[in-house]
Amino acid sequence: MKPDIIIPVPLHRIKHRERGYNQSEFIAQGIALVIGKPVVLNAVRRKRYTQTQTKLNHEERRQNMKDAFEVDRRASSQLKGKNCLLVDDIITTGATMNSCARRILAAGATSIIAASAALAK
């Protein structure tokens, strides 16, 4: 299945302001150059600030990401019926991807393809 659109996993606005960039967005832009599909920014937002996942176990990560994302109502039409490539910098347990993907699917996307630059053990 080929994606119709590319969606980077968003950072919370505070984290984005601290860091100055979203690494997932940079990765998504690079993928877009290769496959020729549009990157959809701001379709999904991280609605609450979450602690870093690095020192949490699987269940703690899942709870940390629970209800952390929401789809912008205006972006729902961009997602409806689309195969979405969801891009993050790293996948460890999949909690972030899962939480974000659930919201995108609930907004009417047909499918989610998960991609990351790294996979942690």
Supply the pLDDT for residue 51.
64
Supply the pLDDT for residue 17.
94
* Domains of the chain, CATH where assigned: 5-24+36-119 (3.40.50)
Mean pLDDT, the chain, integer: 90
**Nearest to residue 78, comparing CAs of 109, 119, 47?**
109
pLDDT at 36 over 70: yes
Cα separation of 90 and 36, whole Å? 23
Q: Find the mean pLDDT for residues 45-59.
A: 77
- 114 or 119, higher pLDDT: 114
Burial class (CB in 10 A: 0-12, 13-18, 19+), 52: exposed
List the end-to-end C-alpha distance of the chain, in Å, as a whole number: 27
Bridge partners, 102 (sequence order): none
Supply the pLDDT for residue 75.
81
Q: Find the mean pLDDT for residues 88-107.
A: 92
Instruction: Give CA 32 to chain center in angstroms.
Output: 15
